[in-house]
Structure 1
Amino acid sequence: MPSQATVIPVTYRAMDEKDLPAAHALSQTMRWPHRLEDWSFVLGLGTGFVAEEAGAMIGTALCWKQGQQASLGMIIVSPEHQGKGIGKALMKLVLEALGERSTLLIATPAGRPLYEQLGFIATGTIHQHQGTLKAPPRALSFPGETLRPYVPGDTEAIIALGNRATGMSRDEVLGALLAAGETVVLERHGEVAGFSIMRPFGRGHAIGPVVASDTDHAKALIAYWCGAYAGSFVRIDVTGASGLQGWLAQAGLIQVDTGVAMARHGVPQSDSTLQQFAIVSQALC
């Protein structure tokens, strides 16, 4: 009589720094661009969980509390273990950690049905653009306004703008981004009125967030980077409502993917006079 195959149980636990190399390797099997440094950055801002089988990492999920709001991402299940409920178990762990916070995520078409089962609803789209950055066809300037590099005295104003544009408490996230990257500020009559951040990420650099009052000012904040980074590989993820898609293509940043923005327990209430045209990332949103 043939013996039954041994069933190896899947175990779940909190993620810590020693798990980063294995998490990075897992993301590489999915052809994600994240560097080990990118994993370290996001874990340092949030909470993570891993799924293991026989001591090998087969899944990850991270989440970030941002006041009474939150985001989640880095949801990965190894290809050979998909369809076994591991992703759902990891999602339940991060949602339990977040409680009743208004929670955002960016879904792939494959992941969307699971997220809908867990109470997420679609709220828009996110368009991933990337390529070799070049100068856009038209430089933009505005009377009484100037673009200049960030100085530490701008920190409070930048965080306030970021919070207003998203309806989230992004003090920690924006503080970490300001330390990790370069920032350009739109100054209007002596006051900070917008900003964009360029940081190392993946195959090159990423722009985000971009916060401004309108599309033309968002274009100016993105175009600023064309001088120092022309010829570099750059990624930017913009909202479907940004109106930037065609203009980004002219700047060498071609749309390569689209995700679905989803929310659970409502959508954070943002300031209607500001907009986050480019998100930080599809994890931190």
Structure 2
Amino acid sequence: MPNTVGAAHLRALTPDDLDACHSLSRQVGWAHRREDWALVLGLGQGLAAIAAGEVVGTAMWWTFGSGHASLGSIIVAPERQGAGLGKLLMQGLLDATGGRSRGLIATEQGRLLYAKYGFEPVGTVLQHQGPAPAVGVPPLGPGETLRLATEADLPVLAALDEAATGLPRAPVLSALLGRGEAYLLERDGVAAGFSVLRRHGLGWLIGPVAAVDDRAARCLIAHGLAARPGEFIRVDVPAPTGLGSWLTELGLPEADTGLAMRCGERPAPPGPARLFALVNQALG
């Protein structure tokens, strides 16, 4: 397929482009830091749309196992929108991830474009953010312990995450362990859930959160909120979890929604763990 539109062409995104990526995301109102871009680029691959020697668009993908890819970080500079760069980037993503099922979280502006490439709605993601409300550290039940996870716990976290998502994401979790605090909830010595709290955007982000039940997920999220009282914090939760209304009641309001879309079938999560909060809206 053509990899040019007018005077613009595609090439691989590299670490040398991080400043340009950061600038581009600020132009479209994203709160990503340069460090946030470095994290996602280090875990995946990307395309840059180049015009007059400048980065005027980006798109990225992350592969999990042999059958699935998540797509994200799709941006076109405001002054270049409507000129076909979105289609150029999407075709580049599809060419790069051929043969895999694909998932993404769509903004309102991108939904129609993605639908043209065969992506169908499969759910809604609720973005809750704001100053962390004052919540007490939730009490633990009989036989429960909550502790900081270490690199030695990575196999346990990866197993919980794969049970919740159906995807092998150990490298993602390993990278997050190096950048934030991971909490592991155990019941009678058996892992019941985990969460990661890390710097992101305007402040902090809680995610991913994988747990065997709603109570465990709420305990892990509340613990993260209690750890950073009054500081800006964000949590992206799938609507079916029902955590949106709970977060609003706690005092962390819904700020936006995203539409989860998919092209092709991804592996079904085996459970019993479920995904209660995303890594971010790019990685899922």
TM-score range (shorter-chain normalised) is: over 0.9
Alignment partner, residue 87 of structure 1: 86
Larger of the two Rg values belongs to structure: 1
Alignment partner, residue 169 of structure 2: 170
Alignment partner, residue 77 of structure 1: 76
Match of 2:44 among 40, 43, 46: 46
Alignment partner, residue 54 of structure 2: 56
| Contact 2:138–2:223 under 8 Å retained in 1 | no
One-letter identity of the residue aligned with 2:27: T
One-letter identity of the residue aligned with 1:66: F
One-letter identity of the residue aligned with 2:36: D
1:6-17 aligned at under 5 Å gives the runs: 9-17=7-15
When structure 1 is superposed on structure 2, of 249-258 and 61-70 the one drifting more is 249-258
Per-residue CA deviation, residues 230-254 of structure 1 (Å, 9 max, x unaligned), is 1110011000111111221233321
Alignment partner, residue 205 of structure 1: 204
One-letter identity of the residue aligned with 2:262: A
Distance 1:138 1:16, change over 3 A: closer
1:1-285 aligned at under 5 Å gives the runs: 9-67=7-65, 68-136=67-135, 139-285=138-284
The whole-number CA distance in structure 1 between the counterparts of 2:213 and 2:242 is 10
Per-residue CA deviation, residues 38-65 of structure 1 (Å, 9 max, x unaligned), is 0011000111101111112110001001
SS in 1 for 2:56: strand
The whole-number CA distance in structure 2 between the counterparts of 1:255 and 1:268 is 29
Superposed structure 1 runs of 4+ greater than 4 Å apart: none
SS in 2 for 1:266: coil
| Contact 1:100–1:265 under 8 Å retained in 2 | no
One-letter identity of the residue aligned with 2:20: A
| Contact 1:136–1:247 under 8 Å retained in 2 | no
The whole-number CA distance in structure 2 between the counterparts of 1:264 and 1:140 is 42
| Contact 1:69–1:169 under 8 Å retained in 2 | no
Question: Displacement of 1:147 after TM fit?
Answer: 1.3
Question: Displacement of 1:177 after TM fit?
Answer: 0.9
Per-residue CA deviation, residues 57-108 of structure 1 (Å, 9 max, x unaligned), is 1100010011122101000001111112111111111221112212110001
| Contact 2:134–2:230 under 8 Å retained in 1 | no
Per-residue CA deviation, residues 185-242 of structure 1 (Å, 9 max, x unaligned), is 0111112221000010001010000001121211000111233211110011000111
Report the identity percentage. 47
When structure 1 is superposed on structure 2, of 24-33 and 78-87 the one drifting more is 78-87
SS in 1 for 2:178: helix
Instruction: Structure 1: give runs of 5+ residues left out of the alignment.
Output: 1-6
Question: Displacement of 1:8 after TM fit?
Answer: 6.0
Question: Displacement of 1:155 after TM fit?
Answer: 1.1
One-letter identity of the residue aligned with 1:177: L
Per-residue CA deviation, residues 239-273 of structure 1 (Å, 9 max, x unaligned), is 01111112212333210101100111113310242
TM-score by length of 2: 0.94
The whole-number CA distance in structure 2 between the counterparts of 1:274 and 1:126 is 18
The whole-number CA distance in structure 1 between the counterparts of 2:182 and 2:6 is 49
| Contact 2:137–2:223 under 8 Å retained in 1 | no
Question: Displacement of 1:179 after TM fit?
Answer: 1.3
When structure 1 is superposed on structure 2, of 132-141 and 184-193 the one drifting more is 132-141
